[in-house]
Amino acid sequence: MPTPLRLSLKTLRAFAVTVEHGSITRAAAELNTAASAIAAALDQVEAEFGAALLVRTRARGIAATAEGRVMAARFRALLDQYSHIVEEGRALSQTLSGTLRIGYYAPVAPAFLPAVIGPLMAGNPGLTLTLHEHDNDSAQTALLAGQLDVILFAGQDLRRGIATTRLLDLPPYLLSAADHPLATDTPVTLAQIAKHPLVVLERPLARPYLDGLFRDSGLTPRVAASADSIEMVRSLVGAGAGVAVLGMCPLTEVSYGGHPLACTPLAPGLQPLQLLSGHISAQPRKLVKAFLEALTDWMASEAASSLIVS
């Protein structure tokens, strides 16, 4: 069973400083406290150890016994260690450390998330990140279960208990090979797109969103291929398998296969996707707040506008 802490750090400091000075008066002056308080602290230390650690004389003031000098040295070492711990604790307010667990909606986050977390990690060597790919539903489930600290997802079917911030509105756009007839500077319509083979992103949110766009316009597209990864969709489009309708435009105009691609805006009036960040509604810890601030700042930058085709 741990020994009760009956001697405070203030008491230990009074004893150590008195032994160093050999005087209650000088110790009181250094510690800016009353001499009577110093004397009481000395009595408390001796009572706790049940031994005479100091010799008090009128002529020479305070002199430590051999045991008293040993204890004073140990007290000083303990006080120095305490000061070091406090300094380390204060340093935590200047840098970030620990692990931040981020869940992200796969088709969109890789386009911007590295740009957000790169500077954060460079300025905080003690920071570790774990990134988990999710769809909208599983991201919210993992957050509410305490498995994630922050999620980045498209704003549909929101759960209770999650605080969200809207980051970007993402209008749909046409992705095509660079030499495709629809690759122009003029916005195209869904009716024009429906005349061409379509490559579909087969994800829990992306596919229903796409089907809804065509259904609400009274159109039935001809699906030539589907894939559950954004890079496979881009590579199929670049290779000429068809065109695709997507929401976020990566900052590259080349597919994984090396084919040049074009992003063409769609005619206005179509419902955009919303990119959100989410965290538990309670007060987030410092690391989460720092990430959310960095994310919000980046979303207000010129680089973020490059992700939107309009």
Residues 76, 106, single domain; the answer is no
Question: What is the pLDDT, as a whole number, of residue 88?
Answer: 63
Q: Is residue 53 within 8 Å of residue 26, measured between CB atoms?
A: no
Q: Assess whether 161 and 279 both reside in one domain.
A: yes
pLDDT score recorded for residue 126: 81
* pLDDT tens per residue across span 17-38: 999 889 999 999 999 999 999 9
Residues 129, 63: one domain? no
- CATH code at position 22: 1.10.10.10
pLDDT tens-digit readout, 92-125: 555 566 788 999 987 778 888 998 998 888 888 8
Gap between the Cα atoms of 253 and 302, Å rounded: 18
Q: Which domain holds residue 164?
A: 98-169+275-305
Domain closes at, from 91, 123, 153: 91
- Separation of alpha carbons 176 and 183, rounded Å: 6
Q: Which two tokens stand for residue 176?
A: 């095509």
pTM over the 0.75 mark:
no
CB 132 within 8 A of CB 104: yes
Q: Which of 258, 234, 257 is nearest to 245 (CA)?
A: 234
Whether residue 287 sits in one domain with residue 165: yes
Q: How many whole angstroms from its chain centre is CA 273?
A: 23
Residues 191 and 56 in one domain: no
* 61-64 vs 54-57, strand pairing mode: antiparallel
Q: Which of 191, 196, 192, 223 lies closest to 207 in space, CA to CA?
A: 223
Q: 235 and 214: one domain? A: yes
Q: In which residue ranges of the chain is pLDDT below 70? A: 1-3, 59-60, 87-97, 283
* pLDDT for 96: 66
CATH classification of the domain holding 217? 3.40.190.10
